[in-house]
Structure 1
Amino acid sequence: MTNETQVRTLDAGALKALAHPLRVKIFDLLAARGPQTASSLAALVGETSGSTSYHLRALAAHDLIREVEGRGTARERWWERPKGRIDVPGPDEMTSPANRAAAQIVTSEFFRLRHETLMSYLNRPQAEVPEDWRDVGITITTHLDMTPEQAMSLREELEAIVESAIQRYRGQEGPDVRRVSLRAELFDLPTPPRATPASAAHSEEES
Structure 2
Amino acid sequence: MQSVPETAPSVTLDANAVRVLAHPLRSRLVAALRQRGPSTATDLARELGTNSGATSYHLRQLAAVGLVVDTGAGDGRRRVWAAAEEQPLPVSDDLDDDEDAATAMGWLERDWLRHFSEKFGRWLDVRSAWPSRWRAAAGMHDYLVVVTAEQLTAMHDELGEVIERYRRAGQGNPDAKRVAAYLTFYPVDMDQAPRR
Structures share a fold, TM > 0.5?
yes
CA offsets 1:48-99 (integer angstroms, 9 cap, x no match): 1111111111111111100123x22113111101235412358x93323322
Q: Which runs of 5+ in 2 are unaligned?
A: none
Contact 1:30 1:80 in 2 (8 A): yes
What is the distance in 2 between the residues matched to 1:151 and 1:95? Answer: 23
Distance (Å, rounded) in 1 between the aligned partners of 2:185 and 2:165:
18
Flag the structure with higher strand content: 1
Report the equivalent of 2:177.
Answer: 178
Identity of aligned residues (%): 31
CA RMSD of aligned residues (A): 2.8
Could you tell me the TM-score, scaled by structure 1's length? 0.75
Q: Which residue of 1 aligns with 2:108?
A: 106
Q: Secondary structure at the match of 1:80?
A: strand
Aligned to 1:68: 71
Indicate how the Cα distance of structure 1 residues 117 and 3 shifts in structure 2: closer, same or farther if over 3 A, else same.
same
Letter in 1 for 2:177: R
> Which entry has the higher C-alpha Rg, 1 or 2?
1
- Compare 146-155 and 103-112 and name the one that shifted more: 146-155
Q: Distance in 2 between matches of 1:19 and 1:93?
A: 13
Alignment of 1:8 with 2:24, yes or no, is no
Indicate yes or no: 2:187 matched with 1:188: yes
Within a 5 Å distance, the mapping from 1:84-99 to structure 2 comes to 84-89=87-92, 93-99=95-101
The normalised TM-score by structure 2 is 0.79
